[in-house]
Structure 1
Amino acid sequence: MSSFDISDRDYTFKLGDYVSRGWEIFKSNALPFVGFTLLTFVGLGLLSAILPFPLGSGDFEDGQGGIGIVSSILMNLLIPGIYIVAFQIARNRPTAFADFFKGFNRALPILVLAILSGLLIGVAFLCLILPGIYLAVAYMFALPLLLDKQLDFWPAMETSRKLITKKWFSFFAFSLVLGLINIAGALCLGVGLLVTFPLTICAQIAAYEDIVGLNSVADSEPTDTI
């Protein structure tokens, strides 16, 4: 794993610019973004419905339900593909639909990050709501750092937390804006999420691009499998 520390970096937060830049990234590859999001939502939904609980959603009439273990794992490995493609577009690099599935190349660290950050956020919410909100916002850059800078899960989480804490309230407002965009998409019979979900990820990449910066080293295919 590479060493990377930008926790002391100062920056200016530009919320409007990030949404605008995110839209530019999205619209340059709109059909693949929408197609992959549709494939992910429908595929995981069908898989969850087919598999028995707890692997799948189970029978709601028996008091069971939820997305299921298998769909949860696959979701955490598929969503990073949107980040990866957005990174490539931000670098003006060519993309292919297969790039959406490159999250599987670093399956273990991605899953550990998802589980550990989810546990920490969940525990923080149970203890006191505010610490949970703090961590949920502070880990926004954890996955991008893991994917782009080849960091392990804990350095990615801590680097994200320290960096975002500098402008936490700005990131909180950013999170609210992204949430409202997705709510608007959901209100359009849910179909709007096919656009708003990848769009909001592209906006996060736009913020990351400005604050953290993109490096050419991370353009190469990851070789580690931990």
Structure 2
Amino acid sequence: MKQPSIDLVHLFKYSFQQYKRYTSFVIGIMVTYYVLAIVPQIYYFQYFWGNPSTEAQVISGIITVTQLFLSLGFINVMLRLVDDEHVQVSDMFNNFRNFLSYFVGYFLYMLSIILGLFLFVLPGIFIAVRFMFYPYFILEENQSSFVALQKSYYLSEEMTVELFLFGIVVITLNIVGALLFGIGILFTYPLTTMATAVVFKSLVNETEGIPSEQYQLES
């Protein structure tokens, strides 16, 4: 089957519409994430960076696990908002059942990327692109980390270049958002996470184009 191409204009138009529709809720979720995940990280770097003590290592571990847990919750919320499903702030915190799979998957994913980058860079980029959808399979299908990574690999087959270019756009938008005194990330991170969710759902549904008709605005 011929793989669809990604229409970035329609993709981000739809994502922007969903962001506007749920602006106050999304900003609330982002502020919650920032306070619980980013602020502790800033505190750690300010007071414990380079400290080899047991206390510093324990604090670093707690912060890392907290960030991963909240990241999974954030992805879950954005994944549901693209389909206009009812969500609550609690949906960011009720992902305990999937967290172990996500934690293991994240470890394997990042380790593989790092090793790939050491192997002349390109393997790391390839891995980052082909396995990028593993969190979505964990959330949508309750898959284990290994199965989720495998499914992501096959889902992105023949889409490596398209997804790489999409990833460049996502990274660029979030860098720009971060440079705007960090405030812009309140807009760019939810927007790009929603866009990624739409790409995932369109690929899973084997549509002829991305985004699928379900995620396109009427002209």
Query: What TM-score results when the alignment is normalised by the length of structure 1?
Result: 0.79
Q: Which runs of 5+ in 1 are unaligned?
A: 1-7, 215-226
CA contact (8 A) 1:22 1:204 kept: no
Aligned residue for 1:29?
22
CA contact (8 A) 1:123 1:132 kept: yes
- More helix, by proportion: 2
Deviation, structure 1 residue 203: 0.6
Helix, strand or coil for the counterpart of 1:165? coil
Deviations 1:35-67 (A, max 9, x none): 22222222224434666xxxx875347599999
Aligned residue for 1:43?
36
Deviations 1:100-129 (A, max 9, x none): 223333221110111111111111112221
Task: Give the share of equivalent positions with the same residue, in percent.
Answer: 22
CA contact (8 A) 2:82 2:194 kept: no
Helix, strand or coil for the counterpart of 2:95? helix
Query: What TM-score results when the alignment is normalised by the length of structure 2?
Result: 0.81
4+ residue runs of structure 1 moved beyond 4 angstroms?
61-67
Could you tell me how far apart the structure 1 residues matched to 2:165 and 2:117 are? 19
* Match status 1:148 vs 2:137: no
User: Structure 1 residues 64-73 or 128-137, which shifts more?
Assistant: 64-73
Show the 5 A alignment for 1:79-90.
Answer: 79-90=71-82
Show the 5 A alignment for 1:65-84.
Answer: 68-84=60-76
Aligned residue for 1:136?
128
Aligned residue for 1:110?
102
* Match status 1:120 vs 2:109: no
Cα RMSD of the aligned pairs, angstroms, is: 2.7
Show the 5 A alignment for 1:50-61.
Answer: 58-60=47-49
CA contact (8 A) 2:102 2:145 kept: yes
Q: Which runs of 5+ in 2 are unaligned?
A: 207-219
Question: How many equivalent pairs are there?
Answer: 203
Deviations 1:67-96 (A, max 9, x none): 922111111111122222223223332111
Deviation, structure 1 residue 182: 0.6
